[in-house]
Amino acid sequence: MRVVAALGGNALLQRGEALTAENQRRNVRQAAHNLAPLAREHQLVISHGNGPQVGLLALQGSAYAEVEVYPLDILDAETEGMIGYVLQQELGNELPFEVPVVTLLTQIEVDPRDHAFGDPTKPIGPVYTSEQAEQLAATKGWAFKPDGESMRRVVASPAPRRIFGLAPIEWMLDRGAVVVCAGGGGIPVAYLEEAVPAGRRLVGVEAVIDKDLASAMLAGDIGADVLAIVTDVEAVYLDYGTPRQRAIRRAGPAAIAALEFAAGSMAPKVAAACAFVERTGGTAVIGSIADAARLVSGEAGTIVTPDARDVELAAA
């Protein structure tokens, strides 16, 4: 089978952990260990989040006042290379030497008129106290929204329209490579009408695309059989975090889309799973990185499939 595994930010950094290279490598090493069985059995594409990393680079860049902070499209590209390198190395340590693992910096087109530019919602970077957020908003012009009891910077998150580089991805998969691409939702770009030979110019955009929606588009574009959205919980839950929480075992896309989930965490994952299933008729599954192989085999997680109409809860 052809599988796209979309790694959540927890694969690189646990909530509350310091953004050190050592912490990230330790988490990636464990993620690679869990993903290796999939790479041995299937054609595997890996995407990943980058929210903490791109936010940290922006914060580090702002400390050097001699030049303007690099725009988000450049920071997105930097994090794709950085995270891809660590994933390549740790997966390579898990797989036979002859299995190539490659990273492709992936440009993804967005609409510069997308309404998201007027309503930033995508969280990036570390969490702050209210006092810290107010100071940064005043000095840097950043936007912030609540994240639990803390505050977090938010930026525009336009919808992906088109992924560049699909042919090289398929070429590498057909030759046995594991491909890491569309990291952090890809590098956001847009076309501007200009007086150049092509009649338009491709430029970077100050935004961060949602990783799960980009992964769903990627999975559909390359004909994946399964989209596995990997996070730090075992399944999608009703009433999550309460004594009444119940895991969803199986659901049709329309049924699960009608439910409400947290906007900053599970909602985009469910939306991405539904988008993939409705577009392709394939299967999407949401669950824990520790269960990666069992997610793809249908033994764990929340399965979204066109074969199901209602929401089926896991046995108590």
Catalytic residues: 9-10, 122, 211, 269
Q: What DSSP character marks residue 9?
A: G
The CB density around residue 61, as the number of other CB atoms within 10 Å, is 16
b/e string for 286-302 if b means 16 or more Cβ within 10 A? bbbbbbbbbbbeeebbb
Least Cα distance to 214 among 229, 232, 234, 231 occurs for 229
Provide the 3-class DSSP secondary structure of residue 263: coil
CA distances from 312 to 164, 198, 233, 256, 302 (A): 37, 52, 18, 10, 9
For residues 188 and 207, the answer to whether their CB atoms sit within 8 Å is: yes
DSSP assignment, residue 71?
P
Question: Given the structure tokens 């491709």, which residue do they identify?
Answer: 202
> Which of 240, 247, 257 shows the shortest CA–CA distance to 308?
257
Please tell me the distance from the alpha carbon of residue 89 to that of residue 32, in angstroms, as a whole number: 9
